[in-house]
Amino acid sequence: MTPTTAYVLALSGAPSAVESLPSPQFCFQLRPLGYARLVHPRAPGAVLFGAHMASKTKKKDDSPSFGWQDRRWSPGALASRAVDLGRFKFMGFATYPFHKPGEPKPEKVEANCISIGACWVDLDFHDHDDWKHLPPAVVLEAVRNTCAERGWPSPSYATHSGRGLLVVWLYPVQPAQTVMARHKAVQQVLHEGFRHMGSDPSARTMTKQFRMPRTVNEKSGVPVSIIWPAMVREIERTTFDELCRTVLPFKRLTTKEREAKEDAAKAKRTAARLAARTPRDGHYGARLTGTSYWCTIRADLEKLLAFRHGQKGVIDGKSRSEFGAGRNAWLTSLVYAAAWDMTPEELDAYVIECADRLGYEHAETKSKTCSIVQRAKQAARGLRRTFKGRPVDPRYKLSPARFIETLAITPREMRRADLRILVDEARRSENAVARVVASRRAKGVKARSSQQDLRRQVGEQALEMVAEGMTVKRAAELYGASPRWMDKALRDARAVAGIGSVRKERPAFMPESETTIDQPLLVVDDVANTLDTIPQATHEVLRGIRLDAVDGVVAGAVVTYSAAVTTKGSTLLRPAPAARQLARRALSCPDLVGVGA
């Protein structure tokens, strides 16, 4: 038995000597099994095969019903599937995940593809007048000439499906999800390059399946065959990177080039954002850098020195709790901060200036700061020191907490001297709130109290208009406000009007034995005079009342609330604390001690 006979018998399903099966020499010898092993050598996952097959169910007229069926086998298992592959006509270039028996198959979508080892273009030249009368070999020659003119790699092989032409570029298997974007780009460029030859736009996707050699095209009745090259050994593979480099109209960036491009884009966005910001008065611009940080620390030190000692100078030899740090602590602290934002020449002059201000001799000052100045000069020359295995700036880098401890800065001094960085956590929070408030005021946002006063005044005026028959919507249009805002204004006005017109007897929590109070009962009918009527030094207003309350409770006297103290936000909520049995807040008032325990 000749090798060729053994090869044909093995592919036909005969159980004879598969192990001695020789590799096919010519491309016309490739059957579905050999073709599948050629396209998917050592590819991970399962190869997808499909065909239109008759199903078990029949149509109403007892004619057979055909449906699409697919099977998936690993490339290593294809050698034992020669008979099975004879039932299928289509195969894809991508592989898919394995699935266990009984589990559903992963869908045939690009998101489930594992590997890909080819790019292709499907030419339906039989639909174009310029090419439909030409033989497939002539069309293939035109394709190869186009690739040569554009500098693209030569195709690996081409199959004639009876009517069209499938041109394929093979390359080593690539992870599908990693190269997905570039694979789509290459497919798009190839499609556009051969659109004039009838490139099929639906054949670009990674999940597309094509007819295998030695199968018959039902539409034309012609068997599918590889028309180029003639020998299997002439099928050459390119590389995916080479194909992308030559086909795609742009160059793929290296990691270093991509990072540089991203950094340049980020720097451009940052520069545009900073250019739109207005620098603040007394600061070094809107951009915060290391220089601005140390300049702010030095400014804090200068403000603290002026606040604590003024013109009298630093007092040495006294208690730190009374006079703070001495001259030596001030000298080193000032030079520590100045070393980060001054040149060595400026730093030398600054040390002499600090000596004159603190009452030191020049030589003594230089000896106390020689180490700080020396490290600043090393940093100016670009020298670095090794700290925990990494190069760092040789200058001393003290934290704000270290400055606070060295100079014994108190919370009172932090607030009175208006320090910005040399502060504790509480003062830092206050500064943050102040910055937010100042920013909101600068943008035109008004304080809540002023908004409430304005809403109450408008509500009082609109209340009269509504009483005369005007609608709330019309009143809102007169003031240029929304109906919802006008509803809030009217609600506040009605609440204030109700509080100022009704009198309430005594708080419910007072026992009868304590109903006699020397202080006279004050009833205020005019809301505008409430604050002038009530003694300011002897009462405590308990905010928060019921919606049906008629007045508020003031420690020491039963009086009505004023317009300035009755509204909380825009709604009057909850019963008054004094109206509850456990109103402990009122017990701090001198006139009610011992009442309502």
User: Residue 99 maps to which CATH number?
Assistant: 3.30.70.1790
327 band by pLDDT with thresholds 50, 70 and 90: confident
Last residue of a domain, one of 196, 230, 247: 247
Whether residues 178 and 315 share a domain: the answer is no
Using H for helix, E for strand and C for coil, what is the string for 300-342? HHHHHHHHHHCCCCCCCCCCHHHHCCCHHHHHHHHHHHHCCCC
Indicate the SS3 state at residue 152.
coil
CB 238 within 8 A of CB 153: yes
295 shares its domain with 341: yes
Predicted confidence at residue 499, as pLDDT, reads 66
Residues 130 and 212 in one domain: yes
Residue 306, in any domain of the structure: yes
**How many structural domains is the chain composed of?**
4
Which H helix or E strand runs over 209?
A: strand 209-211
Assess whether pLDDT exceeds 70 at residue 527.
no
Query: Which DSSP symbol is given to 276?
Result: T
So what's the pLDDT on residue 281? 62
pLDDT tens digits for 251-272?
888 889 999 999 999 999 999 9
Q: How many degrees, rounded to 5, is the angle at CA 145 between CA 144 and CA 151?
A: 90
Q: Domain ends where: 437, 465, 482?
A: 437
Express as a percent the part of the chain with pLDDT over 70.
76
Whether the CB-CB separation of 169 and 189 falls below 8 Å is answered with no
Give pLDDT tens digits for 100-157.
888 888 999 999 999 999 999 999 998 888 898 999 999 999 999 999 999 999 999 9
Place of tokens 């880098």: 397
User: What region, left, alpha or beta, does residue 369 occupy, with left being phi > 0 and alpha being psi -120 to 50 degrees?
Assistant: alpha
- 161 inside domain: yes
For the cut 90, the answer to whether the pLDDT of residue 585 exceeds it is no
Which one is predicted more confidently, 508 or 580? 508
DSSP string, 521-558: P-----GGGHHHHS-SSS--B-----TT--S--BTTB-
- Regarding whether 179 and 223 lie in a shared domain, the answer is yes
- Judge whether residue 544 has pLDDT over 60: no
Query: How far apart, in whole angstroms, are the C-alpha atoms of residue 537 and residue 524?
Result: 18
Parent domain of 471: 448-499
Quick check: helix, strand or coil at residue 421? coil
Beta carbons of 483 and 472 less than 8 angstroms apart: yes
pLDDT band at 162 (very low <50, low <70, confident <90, very high): confident
Does the residue 14 lie in any domain?
A: no
The larger pLDDT score, comparing residue 347 to residue 534, is at 347
Last residue of some domain: 463, 484, 499?
499
* In a shared domain, residues 82 and 146: yes
Pair of tokens at residue 224: 């599918």
User: Is 537 part of any domain?
Assistant: yes
- 5 within some domain: no
C-alpha angle 588-593-597 in degrees, rounded to nearest 5: 100
480 and 515 fall within a common domain: no
From CA 353, how far away is CA 334, in angstroms rounded?
11
158 and 194 housed in the same domain:
yes
At 57-95, the pLDDT tens digits run 777 777 777 788 888 998 888 878 887 888 899 999 999
Q: If residue 191 lies in a helix (H) or strand (E), which one and from where to where?
A: helix 180-193
Please tell me the least confidently modeled range out of 137-151, 203-217, 474-488, 554-568: 554-568
Residue 282: predicted pLDDT = 56
Do 98 and 37 sit in the same domain of this protein? yes
Is residue 2 included in any domain, yes or no?
no
Higher-pLDDT residue of 49 and 4 is 49
Mean pLDDT for 351-376 is 89
Burial letters 432-445, b for 16+ CB under 10 A, else e = eeeeeeeeeeeeee
Residues 162 and 305 in one domain: no
Q: Are residues 195 and 340 in the same domain?
A: no
Q: Report the 3 state secondary structure along 103-127.
A: CCCCCCCHHHCCEEEEEEEEECHHH
**Predicted confidence (pLDDT) per residue in 465-484, tens digit:** 888 888 988 888 888 889 89
Residue 485 lies in a domain: yes
* pLDDT tens profile 21-64: 567 889 988 888 889 989 998 889 999 999 988 777 777 777 77
Domain co-membership, 243 together with 176: yes
In a domain, 37, yes or no: yes
Helix (H) or strand (E) holding 434: helix 425-442
Indicate left, alpha or beta for 459 from its phi (over 0: left) and psi (-120 to 50: alpha): alpha
Percent of the chain with pLDDT over 90: 40
* pLDDT (tens digit per residue) in 383-409: 999 888 899 999 999 999 999 999 989
Tell me: do 86 and 153 sit in the same domain: yes
pLDDT of 48 reads: 93
